[in-house]
Chains A and B, each alone.
Chain A
Amino acid sequence: MIHSLFLVNASGDIFLEKHWKSVVSRSVCDYFFEALERATEPENVPPVISTPHHYLINVLRHRIYFVAVIQSEVPPLFVIEFLHRVVDTFQDYFGVCTEAAIKDNVVVVYELLEEMLDNGFPLATESNILKELIKPPTILRTVVNTITGSTNVGEQLPTGQLSVVPWRRTGVKYTNNEAYFDVIEEIDAIIDKSGSTITAEIQGVIDACVKLTGMPDLTLSFMNPRLLDDVSFHPCVRFKRWEAERILSFIPPDGNFRLLSYHVSSQNLVAIPVYVKHNISFREGSSQGRFELTLGPKQTMGKAVESVLVSSQLPRGVLNANLNPSQGTYTFDPVTKLLSWDVGKINPQKLPSLKGSMSLQAGASKPDENPTINIQLKIQQLAISGLKVNRLDMYGEKYKPFKGIKYMTKAGKFQVRT
């Protein structure tokens, strides 16, 4: 399966290599670098590259390419999914997954990779098992380790791998027992020039942070489970209960995990929280363009729209933009032509706007497409689909946990065509 792994940074240097079978020379990455050079954008590198003797499957996360070397037929998604898991694990361990973090923790990284694959086949990818094997580095532990000479490697052997509940380690203990659930929904939408919705759908996840002693068994029920059109579960969720009763019943993993991701179909009407009034125009022959943008709240169920960030890739011909925001700050990068405007909170009484002019390259013809506007936003305390958690019960343990549920709506891929 997976033969070797190379980590390549943004500037094209291999800064880590790991082989699970016999060593593959790093020159194999030359094919990858070729593809990298050919690609105009970093994302445009094809995920699967064929070379005379190997196949390279790469994943780009946090500006690092994770290049896996494959020698024979294997489902490409198998490798891609695994690489993403590796990144998730690194992030889980080091907080961030950057070149510096990996270089600083090269030994832990190596120990992790060693445990995650055996002979190129995934062995332990469950974060709870890994954390029993290799303790994540913390500042405190680093200090303690240097003083006492103890190690990051778990002393006792992991039992989680052998149990029926491999995602949960045994003997979990907390003084404060808490279970938090975040219902986060993202709106993916394309809005056309006239403001009508071309496509809109809601993708939601329930992320949980469960810190409960022992082996609690939780059930989570919804007021309106029918909303959920398509779901995928963490392996801990009992599928049959869901099928029969639409109740989520599970023994949770310890710590942070994604319990559920769901999809609310586009057939249901999706509420669009903001509207955009825009007037972006370039005149033929003149080297000036006009830029006007006003944002306003639309269907927000009375909640405030916060952390609004508007970004737009302006046409190549634009040299500079001279704009005037009514609130927030804007930046324009003349190299990448990326305009971004950090609006903040939308005040319904005084709508934020960005107005001004753009200067175009002299003599260049008028760009034929107006830029697309991407919007990011957050609405606290609201799940835009209307999904509501009914109750959360715990069985199997005696104490009374502290429970919390938070709703949030975000813009996912929210684009306005102009």
Chain B
Amino acid sequence: MSNNNVSYNEQVSLESGVDAAQENSSIPASVSGGLFSADYKKNEDLKEMLESNKDSQKLEAMKRIVGLIAKGKNASELFPAVVKNVASKNIELKKLVYVYLVRYAEEQQDLALLSISTFQRALKDPNQLIRASALRVLSSIRVPIIVPIMMLSIKEASTDLSPYVRKTAAHAIQKLYSLDPDQKEHLIEVIEKLLKDKSTLVAGSVVMAFEEVCPERIDLIHKNYRKLCNLLVDVEEWGQVVIIHMLTRYARTQFVSPWREDAVFDENSEKAFYDSEEERKVEQVKPYIMDPDHRLLLRNTKPLFQSRNTAVVMAVSQLYWHLAPKHELNIITKSLVRLLRSHREVQFIVLQNIATMSIQRKGMFEPFMKSFYVRSTDATHIKILKLEILTNLANEANISTILREFQTYVKSQDKAFAAATIQAIGRCATDISEVTDTCLNGLVLLLSNRDETVVAESVVVIKKLLQTQPSQHSDIIKHMAKLFDNITVSMARASILWLMGEYCEHVPKIAPDVLRKMAKTFTSEEDIVKLQTVNLAAKLYLTNSKQTKLLTQYILNLGKYDQNYDIRDRTRFIRQLIVPNEKSGALSKYARRILMAPKPAPVLQSAFKDRDRFQLGTLSHTLNSQAIGYLELSDWPAVAPDQSVRIVEVVEPVKETGAPVHGKSKPGKSSEKFYSDSEEEEEEEEEGSSSEDSSSSSEESESESESEENSDDSNKSSSSQSDSEKKKKTLKNKKLQQQKPDGKDRKQKNGNAVKGESRSESESASESSSSESSSESGSELDSDSDSDSGTDQKKNTRSKPVQSTLVTKVEKKEVSLLDLDDFSPAAVPSPKSSILSPSLLSDLQGLSISPTQSALQASSPVFVPETSHELLHRMTGKGLSAQYRFTRQPCIYGNSMVSLQLTLSNSSDQALENIHISEKSSTGQNIHRFNAIERLEPQASVTVSMGVDFNDSTQAANFQLCTKEDEFSVSIQPAVGELLLPITVSEADFSKEQGKLLGMNESSATITMTPENVSSQSVNRKVVSVANLGVIPSSQENIHRFAGKTVSSGCLVLVSVALKDPDAVITINTERTVMGSMLLRQLKTALTNSDP
């Protein structure tokens, strides 16, 4: 009897016992008897287990309770016992308690409050995941009393350093809003704050919160629009769907229509469809120019067509459908057709959307018509949707194919589908006049089909078709009259009767005979047939009263006493109308005109005709009725609202230094660059503000460069990873070479350096520097344009001989969103002779030949590392090997380029000819190519210089290095420190600029310095070797300052190292936060490294 004997493992049996207890809990104990008292004990038992000291007991109890919840049984009475375990150390137990708490807190509000303090404590936990989970549960407890606590926690969490916690905060916003809508105003503030967040983790969730809480506050999006567009590819897939839907709505309110007025919904004809843009533009008075932001959205969503998530693909498709110019729509097709391979439910939704699209634009899906052919294994609703699409796609050219296919469908065993096919044939017949007769004949043949539904459907469709052109088809009507006796489906019979009556003049002999037959069987007919019989009688009476007067009266008499009041009514009405008597008023005079009035033919049209009033891909579209919470897609505004609202103002980094930094960027170029870099959107926006006019005017040039930019933008995520991998690859290659001794000393030395044998390096490095300079002279000969930088560099090199090169590979992993750990600093060389004292710096400046280009006093590099990196190994290069190094000079080819020195050597036994960089660059970077080298003798090497515009990103520049015979894909991976140029500013200006770049723009870290690094010299040396920064003379002994600007955009990068024995605080201030954090990591590594 007692369940206590049963082992806990037999969960099922135990649960069933508990179930019984719960179901009968209302029954008085006296009635329930022994069984139930035992079951009552069962819950007692769970309680006991929960109160035991052993975690395993508690866990077992919780598992059983969760089992109860899953089955929908009530376990709320255990609440007090369960809630005690909320602070348990056991993670699984805790999680199960959370599950329970969230389920029942609403019912047991007072007791639930007991748990709150635990969560409040956990919210302060140093571990971000614990903070997040505490906030998650706290916000899931639907207890109105804790609203203020929730509000407070959300506000706090929204400023949390961890993006994961901020994401949870965004989720909590929606929960709080549904619990207490009065908090809306406060929540909007939080949403506004979180929308500014740059983390991809947060973006999806906060947009979801925005959509739930304040979708009408479209103004909140303005400032974040570009950021969201740029982040989109990297957001997790579910977030993508939400963001895309929101941006679709946003774009419809902010941009003008890209569809020309004359062609908005009138593009079914293919001619208009394929009309080229240019032709139309000529006709138009004012050509349409797409807002660059509009273009940005389209471009950044395009890669998502390749997503594996069907919801994402659908979302992008609807975005293109609603926003893209008509001629760009074809891109949708393939992706949607691909989705048709997916599960039945996915097919259903996708087909519905295709059906709506195909009504407006046949051309899009016509090439894929065969993908919509019906298979006998499809579910009925899928079949009918496919049929719908095929019908929509039908035109003169393909109708014969489609009709042949339809013939197969008509014979289908699925009768509902067969009937739908007949309807579809009817629609084809009305739409395409060429085939009307063929279809009609086909349908007439179907009249002799054995299946009633098929026959009935055919009759109905024929009736509709005949109505459009009755005169020619009296023979069909006759044929139907003959079949009348065999047709039993009432709808079909009624249709035939109606046809007889309507066109009785065409079949004057047959109609009365049909009426005679009907008079015989009137009483046994269905209501609908009776009504039509009465109609027929009335019409015949009016046209041919001689033959049918008696018959009509007979039928009217039968109808008068019919059981159905409709029929009685109709009979009475007809009698008054047609039979003249003394009481009949004016109406009977018009009886003929009333009954025999020409009736408009019914329009056979798609059920999806009006679906386009709903946004595609939405629930409302699927249901064809407005769902709760559906947000209407507004029409395009006639005039675009102010576009400047999307520009994010950024504090100008350097005002007082005279000419603005952006001044130097040429307008045309800036507009191109406007979207080329997607990592640091703020930069672009800033640029946009300065050259906004030019960007819109130079739209054309932008659209040209779109395609390549597009591919560039699309994959920052992958590229940012590949960055690190390529680095690794390079390292690995070097190691490999070390094992196979070849003529390349330098390489080998690098290999040594990797192993950290730094002691032996002084000589080797000097060797390398000499070889370097010799090769430089080669380059001078090679191209005149190079000579400047070449000499310049030589001087620099000579002035400070480099001691060692060292490549460190960073191994440690850290939890952070931007996991750039693998990014190894290119080189940490340590100059022997001099750490440049500030005074020396100015001397060096004199040496620099490069003109000072910007108002920010660009200075020459303090230190030039000698490390060169493998670009092409001789094995892969079939004898051609190439190495590159960063010269740290302002590039002579362009202001935004990083200058590089390339050493090409030929280790094969044949001369290599025509070495050059291929014209087609695979990535978006702007590359200045070196002049083609006509001939490279065996064992010879040559040094050339080139420039690459990395756009301030560490994304690798990929290009093809070609010889006469071969092409090699190579890539240059810049270290973040190489993307900078040193500048000199006064200490006061430095502090001032630093003050402007606080908050998000500041990243700092505390490190413990090794004793040998503490000297100011070694700090300076370390920093400048990692990054190309200028040393700022400092008045304070223990603070070292360095300044630089990014090469492409000219953003300030300020680094300060404050020594506080034994710690040091590195602070980096820059708008380019990504670069900042990467640089910080490298500096940390460099400064904690104890190598000299």
Name the B residues within 8 Å of A162 (CB-CB).
128, 162-164, 201, 815-817
- A101 CB to nearest B CB, Å: 14
User: When the two chains form their complex, are residues B371 and A22 in contact, meaning their CB atoms are under 8 A apart?
Assistant: no
User: When the two chains form their complex, are residues A315 and B309 in contact, meaning their CB atoms are under 8 A apart?
Assistant: no
Give Cα A244 to B66, complex, Å: 51
> Given A110-B70, A164-B717 in contact, is the A415-B377 Cβ separation under 8 Å?
yes
Give Cα A71 to B543, complex, Å: 59
Q: CB of B832 within 8 A of chain A?
A: no
User: When the two chains form their complex, are residues B306 and A231 in contact, meaning their CB atoms are under 8 A apart?
Assistant: yes
Give Cα A391 to B317, complex, Å: 34
Instruction: Determine which of A151, A161, A190, A374 lies in contact with B164 in the assembled complex, contact meaning CB atoms within 8 Å.
Output: A161
- B604 CB to nearest A CB, Å: 24
Q: CB of B941 within 8 A of chain A?
A: no
Q: CB of B759 within 8 A of chain A?
A: no
- A179 CB to nearest B CB, Å: 16
Instruction: Determine which of A80, A151, A365 lies in contact with B92 in the assembled complex, contact meaning CB atoms within 8 Å.
Output: A151
User: When the two chains form their complex, are residues B817 and A217 in contact, meaning their CB atoms are under 8 A apart?
Assistant: no
Instruction: Determine which of B136, B314, B412, B623 lies in contact with A50 in the assembled complex, contact meaning CB atoms within 8 Å.
Output: B623
Q: CB of A299 within 8 A of chain B?
A: no
> Given A41-B379, A368-B450, A396-B729 in contact, is the A78-B335 Cβ separation under 8 Å?
no
Q: CB of A406 within 8 A of chain B?
A: no
Give Cα A415 to B376, complex, Å: 8
Instruction: Determine which of B90, B164, B238, B969 lies in contact with A245 in the assembled complex, contact meaning CB atoms within 8 Å.
Output: B969
> Given A17-B72, A119-B175, A369-B412 in contact, is the A48-B711 Cβ separation under 8 Å?
no
Q: CB of A343 within 8 A of chain B?
A: no
- A24 CB to nearest B CB, Å: 11
Give Cα A46 to B622, complex, Å: 11
Give Cα A119 to B138, complex, Å: 12
> Given A164-B819, A316-B413 in contact, is the A77-B344 Cβ separation under 8 Å?
no
Name the A residues within 8 Å of B208 (CB-CB).
1, 121
The A-B contact count (CB < 8 A) is: 300
> Given A121-B208, A162-B815 in contact, is the A77-B66 Cβ separation under 8 Å?
no
Give Cα A245 to B314, complex, Å: 27
Name the A residues within 8 Å of B335 (CB-CB).
230, 232
Q: CB of A243 within 8 A of chain B?
A: yes
Q: CB of A60 within 8 A of chain B?
A: yes
Q: Look across to chain B and name the residue whose beta carbon is closest to the beta carbon of A238.
A: B718
> Given A72-B627, A244-B922, A313-B376 in contact, is the A16-B71 Cβ separation under 8 Å?
yes
Stretch from A89-97, A195-203, A302-310, A321-329 that touches the partner: A195-203
Give Cα A44 to B415, complex, Å: 14
Name the B residues within 8 Å of A15 (CB-CB).
71
Instruction: Identify which of residues 360-384 in chain A touch chain B, using a CB-to-CB cut-off of 8 Å.
Output: 365-369, 371-372, 374
- A238 CB to nearest B CB, Å: 3
Q: CB of A294 within 8 A of chain B?
A: no
Give a binary string over B304-315; 1 marks a CB under 8 Å from any A CB, 0 the rest: 001111110111
User: When the two chains form their complex, are residues B311 and A60 in contact, meaning their CB atoms are under 8 A apart?
Assistant: no
User: When the two chains form their complex, are residues B237 and A235 in contact, meaning their CB atoms are under 8 A apart?
Assistant: yes
Give Cα A237 to B412, complex, Å: 44
Give a binary string over A115-146; 1 marks a CB under 8 Å from any B CB, 0 the rest: 00011011101000000000000000000001
Name the A residues within 8 Å of B622 (CB-CB).
48, 76
Q: CB of B875 within 8 A of chain A?
A: no
Give Cα A263 to B333, complex, Å: 13
Give Cα A3 to B411, complex, Å: 43
User: When the two chains form their complex, are residues A50 and B625 in contact, meaning their CB atoms are under 8 A apart?
Assistant: yes
Q: Which of A43, A165, A315 has the largest number of chain B CB atoms within 10 A?
A: A43
User: When the two chains form their complex, are residues A48 and B623 in contact, meaning their CB atoms are under 8 A apart?
Assistant: yes
Name the A residues within 8 Å of B139 (CB-CB).
119
Instruction: Identify which of residues 227-279 in chain A touch chain B, using a CB-to-CB cut-off of 8 Å.
Output: 229-235, 237-241, 243-245, 249, 251, 258, 261, 263, 266
- A93 CB to nearest B CB, Å: 16
Instruction: Identify which of residues 52-105 in chain B touch chain A, using a CB-to-CB cut-off of 8 Å.
Output: 54-56, 59, 63, 66-67, 69-72, 90-93, 95-96, 98-99, 103
Name the A residues within 8 Å of B631 (CB-CB).
73
- A152 CB to nearest B CB, Å: 7
A interface, by DSSP: helix, strand, loop or mixed? mixed
Stretch from B612-620, B780-788, B900-908, B999-1007 that touches the partner: B612-620
- B824 CB to nearest A CB, Å: 13
Q: CB of A158 within 8 A of chain B?
A: yes
- A252 CB to nearest B CB, Å: 12
User: When the two chains form their complex, are residues B308 and A261 in contact, meaning their CB atoms are under 8 A apart?
Assistant: yes
User: When the two chains form their complex, are residues A59 and B449 in contact, meaning their CB atoms are under 8 A apart?
Assistant: no
User: When the two chains form their complex, are residues B618 and A240 in contact, meaning their CB atoms are under 8 A apart?
Assistant: no
> Given A121-B171, A244-B958 in contact, is the A164-B377 Cβ separation under 8 Å?
no
> Given A110-B70, A315-B413 in contact, is the A46-B381 Cβ separation under 8 Å?
yes
- B194 CB to nearest A CB, Å: 14
User: When the two chains form their complex, are residues A110 and B99 in contact, meaning their CB atoms are under 8 A apart?
Assistant: yes
Give Cα A203 to B340, complex, Å: 11
Give Cα A203 to B338, complex, Å: 9
> Given A161-B164, A162-B817, A368-B411 in contact, is the A238-B719 Cβ separation under 8 Å?
yes
Give Cα A232 to B922, complex, Å: 21
Name the A residues within 8 Å of B66 (CB-CB).
106-107, 110
Instruction: Identify which of residues 363-401 in chain B touch chain A, using a CB-to-CB cut-off of 8 Å.
Output: 370-371, 373, 375-377, 379-381
Q: CB of B757 within 8 A of chain A?
A: no
Stretch from B499-507, B513-521, B720-728 that touches the partner: B720-728
Q: CB of A153 within 8 A of chain B?
A: yes
Instruction: Determine which of B413, B618, B717, B722 lies in contact with A249 in the assembled complex, contact meaning CB atoms within 8 Å.
Output: B722
- 11 A-B contact pairs sorted by A residue (CB < 8 Å): A22-B106, A77-B350, A78-B311, A119-B174, A162-B128, A230-B334, A234-B308, A241-B722, A249-B722, A251-B721, A396-B728
List 20 extra interface pairs beyond A110-B69, A263-B337, CB under 8 A. Answer: A23-B106, A40-B380, A44-B380, A48-B623, A75-B619, A76-B622, A82-B311, A118-B168, A119-B139, A122-B236, A153-B91, A162-B817, A190-B375, A198-B373, A217-B728, A244-B923, A316-B413, A368-B411, A371-B413, A372-B377
The 7 closest A-B pairs by CB, nearest first: A238-B718, A72-B629, A240-B715, A153-B92, A369-B411, A199-B370, A151-B92
Q: Which residues of A contact B (CB under 8 A)?
A: 1, 14-19, 21-23, 26, 40-41, 43-44, 46-48, 50, 55, 57-61, 70-78, 80-84, 103, 106-107, 109-111, 114, 118-119, 121-123, 125, 146, 149, 151-155, 157-159, 161-166, 170, 188, 190, 192, 198-199, 201, 203, 217, 229-235, 237-241, 243-245, 249, 251, 258, 261, 263, 266, 313, 315-316, 365-369, 371-372, 374, 395-396, 398, 413, 415, 417
